[in-house]
Structures are given as C-alpha cells and as structure tokens.
Amino acid sequence: MSSSSSASSPDDTCTLVHTSQVHIPTLTSERLVLREFREDDFEPMAEFYADPMSSFYGGPCERPIAWRKFAAYPGHWALRGYGPWALEDKATGAFVGLSGMWFPEGWHAPEITWALAPGHHGKGFATEAARRALRAAYEDFGWDTAVSVIALDNAPSIAVAERLGATRESEIDYSYGRAYLYRHAPLETILAAES
C-alpha cells in the first residue's frame, strides 16, 4: 500500500520573478506627445482595428485580437528596448495614433511605423510623429538605417514616407500582402535638410 505525500513536486511550484521596469522615454514634437501606451488607449485602438483602414495593420479584427495587437506595442519595448509610442495631441490630450520603431521577429529590417486612429487623418500628425520617431531612432537609439513597409495601395502612408524624404527601394511581400519598402535618408541628410 502506498502512502500519499503532501509535499509538492518541483513541477507544482510557482516562482514570482520581478524584472526591471521598461523605460519608455517621452518625446515631444510641435503638436504631439510621444509617450508610453496606457490601458485607456485601447478603446481608440479597438476603433482603429475595427476600421477598414486597419487592413494595412492586420485588421479589421474583433476586440480580443485587437487587444493582442495593442499589447504587442509595449511588449516590443520590453523585449527590444525600443518600440512604437502612443501619440497624444498636446492641445486636446486625445490619443491620435501610434508611431515609432518596429522590428518584430521575421520583419524585413528596422522600421519606422505609424498609424492614426479614426478621425485624425489629414492633419499632418503621421508625418510629424514619424519624423520625430526617426530622429529618435538615429540620435537616441543608434540606428544607422531605417525602412518603412507600406502596402501598395496605402496612398496616405506613401505620401508620408515621401514627405519624410524616404525613397522607394523595392516591392516585397509582407504579412498582409504586397508592399513597398521605403528606405529613410540617413541622419546627416535629414539634418542638412532641416538647416
């Protein structure tokens, strides 16, 4: 007859591991604050992922999938040490979209990405935010090159890339179809154009 033991096996234990906090710097531009994502940013991101315009970002999708996509942004900071910022309109405090550095596993190259929440297109926010994120990538994070992957039929984002001085390098496959790979100008070129 075997006796039962009340001792736990090593497989039944749980160890709580504390990790250091992820430092996400806050940046500013003329009209925007580029900051960490907060839980209350999910509602406008859920609206974004319900909108047909989100097809360039893997939408439209239901809220549970939108939550997973949303959680990837702060997760990218935790795993890579850089990532996209939430965009906040300085004048109103409204969440208007995202922009920043993006390079998940299997991606083509380190990217500057941007996306705007519904109702915030046509105001220059994407160009302003991407310009600030690109400067941070070069000056603060040590990048020496950056691309933007833009769906062939995403005319607004193509216009943003061209306003930033990026050049169309090639046509590629990406997660959601065919895209152009735009190469951003090096920091020296950007600084010369600004002076």
Question: Is residue 3 a part of any domain in this protein?
Answer: no
Question: Is residue 171 a part of any domain in this protein?
Answer: yes
Q: pLDDT tens digit string along 25-79?
A: 999 999 999 999 999 999 999 999 999 999 999 999 999 999 999 999 999 999 9
Q: pLDDT tens digit string along 78-106?
A: 999 999 999 999 999 999 999 999 999 99
pLDDT of residue 92: 98
Euclidean distance between CA atoms 38 and 89, whole angstroms: 15
On whether the CB atoms of residues 96 and 69 are closer than 8 A, the answer is no
DSSP-H helix ranges across 28-186: 42-50, 63-80, 125-139, 155-163
Q: pLDDT tens digit string along 142-178?
A: 999 999 999 999 999 999 999 999 999 999 999 889 9
Give the CATH number, domain containing residue 77: 3.40.630.30
On whether the CB atoms of residues 129 and 118 are closer than 8 A, the answer is no
On whether the CB atoms of residues 30 and 131 are closer than 8 A, the answer is no
Question: Is residue 128 a part of any domain in this protein?
Answer: yes
Q: Which domain holds residue 147?
A: 25-194
What's the total number of domains in the chain?
1
pTM of the entire predicted model = 0.89
On whether the CB atoms of residues 100 and 133 are closer than 8 A, the answer is yes
